[in-house]
Structure 1
Amino acid sequence: MKHRIRKHQFVWNISMARFRKNALRSNSLVHKESLKHHFQDYCASTSIHGVKYLGDPSRPSSERIWWVTMLACCMIGNGYLISKVWIKWHDSPVIVSFAETAMPIWEVPFPAITFCSEIKSRVDVFNFTDAILKYQNGSIAQSDEEMKRMGDLTLLCDKHVLVENGQKVTDNSTLEFLDEMIPEVDDTTIVCQFADSTPTNCSEYFSRIFTDEGVCYSFNMLAAPELFRGYGNPMFLDHGLASSWSLEAGYDRDAPLQTTYPRRVISAGASTSFNLVVKYRVRDTDFHCRGPVQGFKILLHNPGEFPLVTERHLRIPLSQEIIAMVQPKVMTTSDGLRPYSPQIRQCFFPSERYLAHFRIYTQRNCEVECLTNFTLARCGCVNLYMPRNETTPLCGAGSKQCMVDAENELKLVEIEAARNADVNSKCNCLQACQSINFDAETSQADYDTIKTLLSYGDNLTELAGHEGARVRIFFKDMQFSTSRRSELFGLVDFLANCGGLLGLFCGISILSFCEIVYYITLRFWANLHLIKKKHESMDIDDGVDNTITVYPQPQPQSIIEELKEC
């Protein structure tokens, strides 16, 4: 009986081993034949050039090696050229070109005009030259008030004019003193006229503003609440005119042409010019403070931009008439560049760059704020003209050299950052994506203020000891060409170039990639299923019995009955 049980178990084990061996051999053959059939099927059907020769079993090995070499060379060359296209798309996707249509001058504001006198103090109130000479000679003792006034005025003098042991930090009394020293706008100007309006006093047009040149006067600038955040520049006393213009959107469509603010003109030429006649009290010239140059400085700038007159200005010499023919320079940016980073397109949209002191982002406003922050970090205070909070300390005469050094240091840091990608920029003041600047062509001629006013029968008593000058500013042309920053190489161009290269080298298209995905997924499983069915049908047709006889295991009850019979 035990012999019969062992026989059953032996037959069972042999049957299972034979089943596993046959199953593994069958699956291996099926997979191998399926992959081969699948590859031949793809080569015969694909649209990629040259691949069909690799799967043709009738082709000799030499031809297959040739086509493998050719396909490899094409793929390598194709990959190299596509990498060049990628670099071009990634590194230089922006182009600056002229816009398709010209822009009329009534769509842009008339330039803001800021003019500053070279006179920084009236000798009747405080004679700076006498005070500085007494200080340098040490012959006469000076009071603390005289020392403070002298130190305060050095803040408006040339950079080399310094006072030792001056106050490091000052307060608003310095601003009040310097404001008292400068002549009022009506004491500096004779008459103003804009476009075809009647000549009038310049106080109706100009606002007082404290700049890097001290107290100056600005025309056509935005109101202080629209330019500054919070405290801003407390010396900016504007007329409070609400604007209907923004740097990004321009003027409102329904805004009237002649009563908008900032002001604009409807035509070019001298008939719509801004005329300014100024007077200069010669005896107030302080050659120690400002050097030998007399007259005025004038700056044409964006109405939403804080004026830095010292760095870029036009000179108004005495007894001369200056004619400035203005040409606007407008830069716009297409909305297609918004997805790109500011570093790639090299400009900021208004919502991308926040300024703590200015509501309007321009490159100049950003530079002023950056210099303010840098000076505060280096010197513990800021210059008088810089925007600030109510708690920010003001630098006194003792910090003047520190402010000059901080400005020079910041310039070097920014240059080093531009030259070396590893150095971070302190300012990050890129251009505004929508910007407007004004270039001017100037000419001049002799101008005799006294004889001109005598011809009109005016009283010249107020002009005794004065010299005059006249400025006339107008647009040069009725229309001007604008520049536009747009995509040089966008996503569509990148795909088109890649598609052209793939088609040229390999005959590949989007459908070719879809075909590859199809053969890897759906077609592969379909072919595998067909091969399995084919093998099953071939085994049945050959009459081979691949079934495995499984003998049932003897049950304990049957074994007991057999033992009883024995």
Structure 2
Amino acid sequence: MKRSVKDIPQLEAGSKPGDDLFKPKKKYPSFWKNLTNYITEFTENTSLHGVRYLGEKKRTVFEKICWTTIFAISLFLCIELILKTYQKWDNSPVIVSFAQSPTPVWQIPFPAVTICPEMKMRQRVFNYTDFYHRNLANNLTEEEAKQYSDASLVCDTHLFHHGGNLTNLETLDFLAKVAPQFEEVLMMCKWTNMNETCSNLYTTVLTEDGICFTFNMLDRDDIYTNEVYHNKDFLKHGHDRHGWTLEKGYLKDAGRNTFPRRALSSGSKAGLTLLLRAFEQDIDYICKGPVQGFKLLFHHPLEVPRMSTQYFRVPLNQEVIVNVKPDMITISEALRNYDPHRRQCYFSSERQLRYYKNYTQQNCEVECLTNFTLATCGCVAHHMPHTESTPICGSGNTICMAMAVHKLLAVQVDEGISSFHEGDDEIKEGKCNCLPACTSLTYNAETSQADFNWQALFRAYKSDLNEFPGIQMARVTIFFKEMQFITSERNELYGYTDFLANCGGLLGLFIGFSFLSVIETIYFVTLRLVCNVRRYGRHYWSGSPELVNNDAYDHKK
């Protein structure tokens, strides 16, 4: 049989005479063959449970299907549990627990005590009842109508709301003039069982309830920013705070007599005693209704009082004993790196308010209400913080201001209900976004009262009651109930270490996965592959003996 030229093997380059020129041409494994062999080598050497049975060549198809199903189910359950762990870590990273040791009461300030008389104006100076009836009869001059309109700002909203929509800063001068005076209301003050002048303890403050008096509250320069305009000396007492902050408390070098004041112990002898006074001839029953006496509110020294939202009463001719129990929540520094909405609170450095130097939830809510009222009514209430150019609402906007409060609350509730129905576990704070402060301090009060028969006491001392015509008195004693209290603390429920440990436990339990398994996988797809190619040639990925023959070694050489 004749052979063609094509059938004659050609001399390879570099071959020497005598070489076997008729040796068959070497066949290299295909890409898919290399890939299959390499995957088989990986399954035989990996530390993952059950994977080795998927690549064994001696296993039947049925066995491989069974092990593939088992591995897939284990992987699915593992991923499902890891996702639930992540959701719990993401939604509830914080737990509030009790501190390991009690806190003595001298480490925190004595509560700021704000007192507001129910009597908003003295009838001897301005008879609101008379003006009310004269207004119904249209018998007021223009100046009297202006005074009646201004006075109605601190009375019940249903009485009069037909005055001007805007007013001026002279309104505050008028309200301060007709209001009960400081020296008339505070007859006697005793702090830590020592008599002191009330003017040294108390200062005047403007609230939504009119002119009030407050004890142990910081100076306005420590509360408000420079943007807030003040036209009177409200909350200006000049006491310097000695390094106290809500988050860090008192400085270590703060002495016993510091400001804000702190009680040295529990009990009535280490507290505050007040003798309050009102005059029957000055009481007006139309402005604020039939209940007369005083409103009392406790708050910490950095917080602005909101007398319309929470208070308790001190009736006339009654003695009220108030046992105070602090409630303080602190936070672990480990939570500082968390997003505020995950830990559900703000550090003071994370949220800067426009009108207040220090962030608290209540200060934030007051500022938000101020902005909302300005946007809704075009002005703000006389007691709200504002700039010098901000319009002040008159009695004509009384209904609008009341509706602004209602609308803002409705918006917050609607957003909260919406997020609840949508399955969003994150607490919504509406447009205000007023989360609690990470360190908060509140004062819970337990009260008891009894008849204060001061007339019998005066007669026993043979004092002439005619010297006190129409006088009504009330006495209040405020003190800490116990020497120590238990502080609550926000801590990590699931930290990064806890989350990784839980995930690692689940991965190890179901598929034997560990950190070294990740390194092992990376090694097989990078370093081992490169080393095999360099050692056995680019046509051979695996280093298994059955896959690398002597010709490959000869070819490499």
Same topology, TM > 0.5: yes
The letter of the residue matching 2:202 is: F
Cα deviation for residue 34 of structure 1 reads 3.5
Task: Indicate if the aligned counterparts of 2:429 and 2:435 stay in contact, CA closer than 8 A.
Answer: no
Contact 2:536 2:553 in 1 (8 A): no
SS in 2 for 1:287: coil
One-letter amino acid of the counterpart of residue 345, structure 1: R
Inter-CA distance 233–330: structure 2 relative to 1 (3 Å threshold): farther
Where does residue 106 of structure 1 map in the other structure?
106
Q: Secondary structure at the match of 1:381?
A: coil
Range with greater deviation from structure 2 (274-283 or 34-43): 34-43
What is the aligned partner in structure 2 of residue 402 from structure 1? 400
Counterpart of 2:284 in structure 1 is 286
The counterpart of 1:412, out of the listed 401, 410, 413, is: 410
The residue aligned with 2:508 is 503
- Using the alignment, how far apart are the partners of 2:187 and 2:461 within structure 1? 14
- Within 5 Å, give how 1:61-80 maps onto structure 2: 61-80=61-80
CA distance, structure 2, for counterparts of residue 530 and residue 480 of structure 1: 73
Return closer, same or farther for 1:359/1:460 CA change in 2, 3 Å cut-off. farther
Give the match for residue 356 of structure 2: 358
Q: Cα offset for 1:450?
A: 2.5
**Quick one: distance in 2 between partners of 1:68 and 1:12?**
49
Structure 2 distance, partners of 1:428, 1:539, is 71
1:212 correspondence with 2:208: yes
Say which one has the larger Rg: 1
- Pairwise mapping of residues 289-438 of structure 1 onto structure 2 (< 5 A)? 289-421=287-419, 425-438=430-443
- Equivalenced residues, count: 523
Q: Residues 278-318 of structure 1: CA distance to partner in whole angstroms, max 9, x if unpaired? A: 01112222111100001000100110000111210010001
* C-alpha distance in 2 between matches for 1:399 and 1:425: 24
Change (3 A) 1:280 1:56: same
Q: How many percent of aligned residue pairs carry the same amino acid?
A: 42
Q: 1:200 aligns with which of 188, 196, 199?
A: 196
In the alignment, the residues of structure 1 paired with residue 277 and residue 459 of structure 2 have an alpha-carbon distance, to the nearest angstrom, of: 15
The residue identity in structure 2 corresponding to 1:161 is: L
Q: Is the 8 A contact 1:31 1:528 kept in 2?
A: no
User: What does residue 167 of structure 1 align with?
Assistant: 164
Counterpart residue type for residue 97 of structure 1: S
Residue 478 of structure 2 is aligned to residue 480 of structure 1: no
| Aligned position for 1:253 | 252
Deviation at 1:96, TM superposition (A): 1.4
> Once the 2 structures are TM-superposed, how far is the Cα of residue 144 of structure 1 from its aligned partner?
0.9
Question: Does the Cα contact within 8 Å between 2:111 and 2:301 map onto a contact in 1?
Answer: yes
* Greater per-residue helix proportion: 1
Match of 2:87 in 1: 87
Relative distance call for 1:540 and 1:309 in structure 2 (3 A) is closer
Instruction: Determine the C-alpha separation between the residues in 1 that align with 2:130 and 2:57.
Output: 107
Q: For 1:62, what is the secondary structure of its paired residue? A: helix
Distance 1:189 1:295 in 2: 13
Equivalences for 1:123-272 in 2 at 5 Å?
123-138=123-138, 141-164=139-162, 166-197=163-194, 199-230=195-226, 231-235=228-232, 236-244=234-242, 245-257=244-256, 259-272=257-270
**Contact kept? 1:190, 1:201, Cα under 8 Å:** no
One-letter code aligned to 1:486? N
Contact 1:229–1:356 (CA<8 Å) still a contact in 2?
yes
AA paired with 1:418?
A: G
**Corresponding residue number in structure 2 for 1:276:** 274
CA drift at 1:503: 0.8
For the 8 Å contact 2:117–2:293, the answer to whether it is kept is: yes
What is the TM-score when the length of structure 1 is the normalising length? Answer: 0.87
- Aligned pair partner of 1:523 in 514, 528, 550: 528
Change in CA separation of 1:303 and 1:28 when aligned onto 2, cut-off 3 Å: farther
Question: Following the alignment from structure 1 to structure 2, what is the Cα–Cα distance between the partners of residues 142 and 368?
Answer: 35
Residue 416 of structure 1: how far off its partner (Å): 1.3
Aligned-partner residue type, residue 130 of structure 1: D
1:94–1:488 Cα contact (<8 Å) kept: yes
The amino acid across from 2:223 in the alignment is: L
Q: Are the structure 2 counterparts of residues 70 and 102 from structure 1 closer, same or farther at C-alpha, using a change threshold of 3 Å? A: same
Secondary structure in structure 2 of the residue aligned to 1:523? helix
The 3-state SS of whatever aligns with 1:383 is: coil
* Greater mean alpha carbon deviation, residues 448-457 or residues 281-290: 448-457
Partner letter of residue 474 of structure 1?
Answer: F
SS of the residue corresponding to residue 41 of structure 1 reads helix
The two structures, once aligned, show a CA RMSD in angstroms of: 2.6
- Structure 1: which 5+ residue stretches go unaligned? 1-7, 17-24, 543-566
Q: Which residue of 1 aligns with 2:551?
A: 538
Amino acid in the other structure paired with 2:210: G
- The 1:365/1:541 distance shift into structure 2, 3 A limit, reads closer
For 1:169, give the aligned amino acid: L
Contact 2:317 2:453 in 1 (8 A): yes
- How big is the shift at 1:365? 0.6
Cα shift at 1:394: 1.0
**1:34 and 1:531 in contact (8 A); partners too:** no
Aligned-pair CA distance for 1:351: 1.2
TM-score, normalised via structure 2 length: 0.89
Change (3 A) 1:26 1:374: farther
By how many angstroms is 1:461 displaced?
5.0
Deviation at 1:319, TM superposition (A): 1.1
Any idea what the Cα deviations from partners look like across 1:322-343, whole Å, max 9, x if unmatched? 1110011111111211222111
Which digits, 9 at most, give the CA deviation of each residue in 1:336-395, with x for residues without a partner? 112221111111111111111111111111111111111111111111110111111111
Is 2:161–2:399's contact at 8 Å kept on the other side of the alignment?
A: no
> Which consecutive unaligned segments of at least 5 residues does structure 2 have?
14-24, 423-427, 541-546
Provide the secondary structure at the position in 2 that maps to 1:222. Answer: coil
Equivalent AA in structure 2 for residue 185 of structure 1: F
